Structure 1
């Protein structure tokens, strides 16, 4: 069935009413609160699960240092108790008789202290190991902070890109509507074919679809940002004009010098030192241990434990104990072997972390510079495409070109706009990747 002018008018009316529906849906259904990027990063670093876990690991490591230092001091133990003796017993003839104790209750107190005089350096090695663990967890906390910042910035920039896409789709829709009206008028005047009007209708539909897609992307990115910042109410990026994005030059030589101070490298180095300290600890069982113990205990029948009128009988014991395990079922050798393996793995991890940082640096720096060039090129491309579309529309109005020429220019402009938006997005993400790598904000 061939389309008629009546069918064409109905289709055009439906597409002309669609922008009104789109404008009615333009209000953000999430009712999101716009926040600046710095606030979004701060909230995510406070409320993010990874950040909370990293801070907890630092507190645990600091507590382990205190416990390792406390092992240098003597242990103190105090005991007190009471015993009741009653029931039956056998007498000298083997008969079961009731037990009648003159004092059925007896009371005792005790105090004991043990000081390790020599343990082969195990406690000192443990102190060093736990200190390096604090350094590793602190570096991990910094790494998590910048990883969270990277995730927040990625979603934040996705929102900005979605807003730019929405603006581009809106401009595309306005141009397509104007072209459709002109095509319908020329078709009715008999100076254009019905195919021109149908192509214009398709162009309007594509523009409407692009606008719907951009708004959906905006809502999805806003929901992801809300989760990252841990907000109970929806949040989104602040509307801003990203067309005038300042492309600050990056000092690649200075950044390269910061790689060894990056959180990932520092964390691996601290873990290596911790593994080496653990290796020294694993060697200590091959040396004897010497302990000094003092005990004072009292026994008696005073229910006030010697504080009342009666006193307890006290005894004092001082002992020095030397212990050396000659054979402990291969436990020392097994622990030492595992510690050596972990130390070797830690050395390889440091080397791989440095090489990985250099690789990521080269990749992201190249992506950053490429994105800068793409932004400059696409800005020129958009300007050229806008001018070309203007000329083609004038030529079409004068009958000097076909609608296909106009639609081709429109497609070129749409592609240039999308390429510019993607180039800006790639530039922002590459910059955030470099910040996460070196562990500091780039000015």
Structure 2
């Protein structure tokens, strides 16, 4: 079941969405930190037509700002981000449970299909044996041609059921492989 969770595209998408929501919470909490900025400048000024000499000046500045009150917008933003994060985690849990349930159902279908093949093959063996016995009875005059035809029809139907059971098995296996995200 762990394999079903790790390979499920729905679980992967839900996990990534939860990671994004977690990053959004951190970004919203960053609004409580002060803003620090720095600027620098260099200026050269020359009144002459030559490029020698002239006046140069340098400047360097720092600033820091911290909003004291902004109508509770920062806290509201953090609360919304945390709520979105909780929702995305719940959606991730739902996706994991759904992946497990799908894998359980697919595994049950595969086991049922395997058992159906065994039963159909046994029924085909019984029908083939019945056909052999009816033909022998027909050869000695105890059975009618109608008995032979009915037995042939039953044998053909049993063979068709074997083929259908094998097809159902292939479909069930493909469904399980699709859920797991890899071959068996």
Label 1:257 to 1:301 Cα distance change in 2 as closer, same or farther (>3 A).
same
What residue is the counterpart of 1:358 in the other structure? 100
Q: Secondary structure at the match of 1:293?
A: strand
2:20 and 2:91 map into 1 onto residues whose CA distance is 13
Shift of 1:290: 0.6
2:50 and 2:156 map into 1 onto residues whose CA distance is 102
What residue is the counterpart of 1:322 in the other structure? 64
Q: Secondary structure at the match of 1:294?
A: strand
Shift of 1:348: 0.8
Flag the structure with more relative contact order, 1 or 2, with Cα contacts below 8 A and sequence separation at least 6.
Answer: 2
What residue is the counterpart of 1:310 in the other structure? 51
Q: Secondary structure at the match of 1:316?
A: strand
What residue is the counterpart of 2:124 in the other structure? 382
Shift of 1:329: 6.6
Label 1:298 to 1:412 Cα distance change in 2 as closer, same or farther (>3 A).
farther
Q: Does 1:400 align with 2:143?
A: yes
Pairing partner for 1:294 from 14, 18, 40: 40
* Contact persistence 2:124–2:158 (CA under 8 A): yes
Q: Secondary structure at the match of 2:122?
A: helix
Cα RMSD (Å) of the superposition?
A: 3.5
1:336 and 1:407 map into 2 onto residues whose CA distance is 79
1:300 and 1:390 map into 2 onto residues whose CA distance is 116
Pairing partner for 2:28 from 256, 263, 282: 282
Label 1:313 to 1:328 Cα distance change in 2 as closer, same or farther (>3 A).
farther
Shift of 1:297: 4.2
Q: Secondary structure at the match of 2:51?
A: coil
Q: Secondary structure at the match of 2:37?
A: strand
1:318 and 1:418 map into 2 onto residues whose CA distance is 88
2:121 and 2:57 map into 1 onto residues whose CA distance is 93
1:342 and 1:408 map into 2 onto residues whose CA distance is 67
* Contact persistence 2:127–2:154 (CA under 8 A): yes
Q: Deviations over 1:29-67 (max 9, x none)?
A: xxxxxxxxxxxxxxxxxxxxxxxxxxxxxxxxxxxxxxx
TM-score, normalised on structure 2?
0.73
2:142 and 2:168 map into 1 onto residues whose CA distance is 42
Gaps of 5+ in 2: none
